[in-house]
Amino acid sequence: MNSNGLYLYGILPKPLPDNLQLTGLDKQPIKTQEINGFTFLYSEALQKQYLASRRNLLSHEKVLEEAMQEGYQTLLPLRFGLVVKDWQEIYKQLIEPSQKQLQELFEKLAGQREVSVKILWDTKAEVQMMMDSNPDLKQQRDSMEGKNLSMEEVIQIGQLIERNLMERKEAVIQVFREQLQPFAKDMVENEPMMEEMIYNAAFLIPWDVEPAFSDRVESIDKQFGDRLRIRYNNFTAPYTFAQLSPS
């Protein structure tokens, strides 16, 4: 197949060693190209456009993670699917207009890593626990069962339950904020990805702090017992804090 340009994965502070063999999309060998002090991680693009399939997304992510595992901890990941015609195009679209920003991002990420924490709970079980711990609210709800309620009454009890549930949710989230934020140089709270997810945050922390951060996540998990399900990702390219999308 003929090349359709260059597929870009990310930007490194220095080239990869010759003995490091990485494979990217379409099983193409990974190479590096230095431009104006920035080293681009790339492979030959055999397609003009890459679909965001699970296989392609994982291949893209694997290249970045393997580079990080080889010691390239300060890495700027580029968004999936970025194909350029040649290096002149990337110079005009990215380096020329954003050289200062790129340098600032490398400085920000030096010695730092991104980790993420996602919290899920069973909403029905949480509502039941809420009722068990709030007799007045439970009595108010139970007293309305079997009655022909007006729309106003339905809305009122619904809002009351929702407000109490939100308070319980915020109380849980606050524990994570207070105990994890001190470890972080920066943090971003993202929108939950599904109904059962109540918290979705990324943290930028020093590399050598990760074991302590992980221990704290585990400690909080034990504190809440079976009430929560926690998804902790301790190794990922720093998309949240450094993703660049050339215009």
CA contacts within 13 A on the Cβ side of 174: 6
- The answer to whether 97 touches 36, Cβ cutoff 8 Å, is no
The whole-number pLDDT of residue 145 equals 63
3-state SS assignment for residue 38:
strand
**pLDDT digits over 110-161, tens only?**
989 999 999 999 988 888 887 777 766 666 666 666 566 566 656 666 777 7
In this prediction, residue 199 carries a pLDDT of: 96
The pLDDT score that the predictor gives to residue 132 is 77
Percent of the chain whose predicted confidence (pLDDT) is above 90:
58
Q: What is the pLDDT of residue 151?
A: 66
Work out the angle between the directed axes of helices 135-144 and 151-180 (0-180°, nearest 10): 150
**Average pLDDT value over all residues in the chain:** 87
Question: What count of residues does the chain have?
Answer: 247
Residue 243, pLDDT > 90, answer: no
Return the pLDDT at 139. 66
- How far apart are alpha carbons 246 and 243 in whole angstroms? 10
Report the sign of the C-alpha dihedral through residues 69, 83, 28, 19, in that order.
Answer: negative
- pLDDT score of 231 more than 50: yes
Identify the pLDDT of residue 69. Answer: 87
pLDDT for 147 equals 61
Asked if the model's pLDDT at residue 1 lies above 80, the reply is no
Q: What is the mean pLDDT of residues 48-76?
A: 92
Q: Residue range 59-82: average pLDDT?
A: 91
Confidence (pLDDT) at 209: 96
Position 235 confidence tier, pLDDT thresholds 50, 70, 90: confident
Average of pLDDT values for 73-99? 91
pLDDT at 50: 94
Q: What is the pTM of this model?
A: 0.82
Q: What is the mean pLDDT of residues 98-119?
A: 92
Residue 77 pairs in a beta bridge with 10
pLDDT of 175-187, one tens digit each?
999 999 999 999 9
- Output the six-digit token pair for 171: 């109380």
Sign of CA dihedral 234, 240, 246, 247: positive
**At what angle are helices 151-180 and 123-133 packed, to 10 degrees?**
100
Whether 246 shows a pLDDT value over 50: the answer reads no
